[in-house]
Amino acid sequence: MAPPKRKNFSEKSLKHEAKKHRPNHGRQQLRHVTRTARRDRPVETEPADEPSLLEDETNEGQSESYSLKKFQDGKAYDALLTLLKAEQKMTEKPQKHAETLESHDDPVSDDEDAIAGAKFAESSDEDAESDFAEFSDAENDANLDLEAGEDGSLGAHNKTSEKLAQDPFEAHFNLVSDEKIEQESKAMQGVRWPVVEKRPVDPLAHLAYLATVQMPPQGPISNCTVENATNFSGFSTVKSRVRSEYLAKYPDTMKPLDATLFREMLEYKDISFPYQNYKNHSYQKLYLTHVLNHTYKTRDRIIKNNEKIRAYTDALKNGTLKPGAVEPELRDQGFTRPKVLILLPTRNAAYEVVEQLIKLLGSEQQENRKKFKLQFYLEGAPPETKPADFRHMFKGNLSDFFSLGVKFTRKTVKLYSSFFNSDVLIASPIGLSMILEDPKQAKREYDFLSSIEILIVDHANQIEMQNWDHVGTVFKYLNKIPKNFHGADFSRIRMWSINDQARYLRQTMVFSEFVTPNVNNVLSRSLNLAGRVRYRSEITLKTCIMNSVGLKIKQIFQRFDSPDPQTNHEARYKFFVNTVLPSLLKQSSYEDGFLIYIPSYFDYVRVKAYMKAHTKYYFASIDEYASKPKVSRARHNFAAGKIKILLYTERMHHFRRYELAGVKNVLIYEPPANPLFYKELLRFVGKSIYNEQADVDLSFVKTLYSKWDATALERIVGNERAPVLCNAVNELYEFR
């Protein structure tokens, strides 16, 4: 029986049964969102069913194919028309609009409260020019100070090309040729990227890392590297404004791990980094500093080039051009303004990131900050009886439905800016996917993702527990040629963007507490020609979770054969139903208290259906979609011994972290991705032993695994034992 489609799980979903869809009765388009705007008293609404995102894409695919063909056939003509129109524009600098220095907030409408910032209105050309002028930095950056001569020529270009080539931003985005990208992209088709380096990072630290570097088959797109600085001020490629604001808030000294991580961010490599502990926030300020540095350099480059073009136009108008002078061809932008996309799981996570961003900006003014706090901030946290990581994860506003545009000027950061007029987009995967694939929209909107140059997925493990499919939806629309060009100046758009090669230069960074196949797959699918770096925490016998249990409970690991990762789930299922299940209770010294922990909901549904149809076991099951009365009844009957076997899902444990009573033996269907869950499963048995409901010599915890579970297994038993368990002759191992 095919399992039901996974839905997003929120804190309210176990309190109510899902309502049936009622056509033409109220809004069915949006998920339930708890309001955060100020009210006279709290108001809660019942959760509605999550709408299906599946639809017939045949017509849409034809439309997109036709749109792309039309663009390819006519792009040269469109570019020519754009250039001719540009020559007819007045050369005088537009008058800069006066902007109030007082912070103000837009009113909070009902729709804005629901979608938290999804706005598509575009600004006029004059407004955009005013933004650029106000964004201009007063510093005289050596890498950007490339003014043309009085005659408008580009004679200074050769003199400064070496300085430009030393800046990773310029080398990666502005100096690379589309021919080079085409050559590299063809060479890596169907070819596995070679590992060029494996190096330990900060090996003397309590939690050491191993960095694995992969490069495209023909090498990186650029040989530009960043210096091996040991403190923040040593990174000369960081703009002085960004550096000064950072040093005003944080110390100059950096840990070796942070310095290495930041250097690879600045080199625009793809990065997968497991931060290991929820208390670790240092990586966040590093990637936000990188985002600011990238945004500032992008805007400053555009402003400098505007001045060059204006100088040439003035010289042409005044007749002061020297013989042989040619019009500068300066390509420095994409189709649309947004350059950075940050995906986060909850509004509370977004609130913390935006507050950190504002802190690093040091802006004199923040527009709509009060409105932002009303919609994204909530006080309160789970009770102290819950684990510390759970209280941290589920504090504040837990809504997973939001999208927000952020725009920077020199003195101002504006929240809730329209998407097409934003520098940074911050969204949840479901919030963004509802915009990208909303079946009720007559025209889908995804053009604002066409020019994303940095993609960040933070708290990836939390997003996995919600619904990872929405991340795939976002990836499907990244860097696509836009359907409409939104007033883009084709003479300024980089050729690799016009040629649909932007995905080969986009930097992707994924940050998670621990590495999973989904996290690994993000980097495996990425095509960034700067290369990729995967960080892996070195988990030893001393630091593995098994060493921290403190209980002498029998821990059994049983291996089954699996030919490849693609068929691993099927091989596990067959091994369970054919080998483990028939003698399940015979293995136990007890007639009750048998807990079966199943991480995958897909596997949970299959096992549950098989046990109902083919066994006579008296069992119950609780999962993330079960009603609260059903969960309470099953837990009570299991603790009282009325139910012999209890099926329990990983997502249920993630969102509830129940302390199950009456557990005497545990069968772990698949090693949990979160090693803390393994420790808590052992604690269930330890609680029964403490209450004299079970005997320490008779109880056990058995884990089924294959060699493809090595990563999760390593977090449990350590990197010395994991290879032995996966590759040795024996298939059964026991520890205490």
pLDDT tens figures, 146-166: 343 434 444 445 555 677 778
pLDDT at 6: 45
Last residue of a domain, one of 508, 537, 566: 537
Provide the pLDDT for residue 139: 46
Residue 442 has a pLDDT of 64
**Quick one: average pLDDT of 1-5?**
47
Q: Chain-centre distance of CA 84, in angstroms?
A: 41
What's the pLDDT band for 121 if we cut at 50, 70, 90? low
Q: In percent, how much of the chain has pLDDT > 70? A: 78
Interval 652-675: pLDDT, tens: 999 999 999 999 999 999 999 999
Q: What is the pLDDT of residue 160?
A: 59
Q: 232-264, pLDDT tens digit by residue?
A: 999 999 999 999 999 999 999 999 999 999 999
Whether the per-residue pLDDT at 58 is higher than 90: the answer is: no
Question: What range does the domain containing 422 cover?
Answer: 58-111+144-537
Confirm whether 10 is domain-assigned: no
Query: Going by C-beta distance under 8 Å and a sequence separation of 6 or more, which residues neighbour residue 116?
Result: 347, 375, 376, 399, 401, 402, 403, 404, 431
Any domain includes 2: no
Residue 458 near residue 284 (C-beta atoms within 8 A): yes
The confidence band for 80, taking pLDDT boundaries of 50, 70 and 90, is: very low
**Residue 593 within a domain:** yes
**pLDDT at position 548:** 87
What is the average per-residue pLDDT within 326-346? 94
Q: pTM of the entire structure? A: 0.82
Together in a domain, 411 and 431: yes
> Got the DSSP string for 435-465?
HHS-TT-SS---GGGTT--EEEE-SHHHHHH
**What's the number of CA atoms in the CB half-sphere (13 Å) around residue 643?**
21
Does the pLDDT of residue 126 top 50, yes or no? no
Q: 4-9, long-range: CB within 8 Å, 24+ apart, which pairs?
A: 4/605, 5/52, 6/467, 6/469, 6/601, 7/49, 7/50, 7/467, 7/625, 8/50, 8/400, 8/430, 8/466, 8/467, 8/470, 9/465, 9/466, 9/624, 9/651, 9/655
Q: How confident is the model at residue 46 (pLDDT cuts 50, 70, 90)?
A: very low
The continuous run of DSSP H or E covering 315 comes out as helix 282-318
Domain-located, residue 15: no
pLDDT of residue 306: 93
pLDDT confidence tier of residue 441, bands split at 50, 70 and 90: low
700 and 590 housed in the same domain: yes
3-class DSSP state of 250 = coil
Shared domain check, 618 and 497: no
More confidently predicted of 251 and 77: 251
Q: Is 487 a residue whose pLDDT tops 60?
A: yes
Distance of alpha carbon 516 from the chain centroid: 13
- Same domain? 345 vs 442: yes
Residue 580 lies in a domain: yes
What mean pLDDT comes out for the span 702-707?
Answer: 97
Q: What is the pLDDT of residue 117?
A: 60
Q: Domain check: are 513 and 422 in the same one?
A: yes
**What is the pLDDT of the chain when averaged over all its residues?**
83
Contact 533, 210 (CB under 8 A): no
Closest CA to 578 of 565, 597, 561: 561
pLDDT attached to residue 736? 85
Query: Average pLDDT of 358-371?
Result: 93
Residue 672, in any domain of the structure: yes
Tell me: pLDDT of 593 over 60.
yes
Tell me the pLDDT band of 594, cut-offs 50, 70 and 90: very high
For the segment 34-59, the average pLDDT, to the nearest whole number, is 37
Based on the fold, state whether residues 90 and 223 are members of the same structural domain.
yes
Residue 414 has pLDDT above 90, yes or no: yes
- Do 336 and 424 belong to one domain? yes
Give the end of a domain, one of 537, 566, 589.
537
Residues 512 and 571 reside in one and the same domain: no
* Predicted pLDDT at 215: 95
- Among residues 519, 537, 555, the one where a domain terminates is 537
Q: 334, 497 in Cβ contact below 8 A?
A: yes
Residue 412 in domain: yes
Q: Give the pLDDT of residue 163.
A: 75
Same domain, 64 and 153: yes
pLDDT at 123 over 60: no
Q: What pLDDT is stored for residue 366 in this prediction?
A: 93
Structure tokens that stand for 226 in this block: 């960043």
Tens digits of residue pLDDT in 534-563: 999 999 888 899 988 888 899 999 999 999
Higher per-residue pLDDT: 84 or 708: 708
> 404 and 306, same structural domain?
yes
597 plus 460 within the same structural domain: no
Residues present in the chain in total: 736
pLDDT in the model for residue 102:
39
More confident residue, 410 or 479: 479
The per-residue pLDDT for 95 is: 42
pLDDT at 351 over 80: yes
Domain match, 495 and 631 both:
no
User: Measured between alpha carbons, how far is residue 433 from residues 34, 420, 522 in Å?
Assistant: 19, 17, 17
Tell me, what CATH number does 560's domain have?
3.40.50.300
Give domain status of residue 5, yes or no: no
474 band by pLDDT with thresholds 50, 70 and 90: very high
172-204, pLDDT tens digit by residue?
999 988 889 999 988 888 889 999 999 999 887
Q: pLDDT value at position 166?
A: 85
Whole-number pLDDT of residue 10:
45
pLDDT of residue 664: 96
Contact 702, 556 (CB under 8 A): yes
Candidate from 124-133, 564-573, 577-586 with smallest mean pLDDT: 124-133
Number of domains in the chain: 2
CA dihedral 128, 134, 139, 145 (to 10 degrees): 30
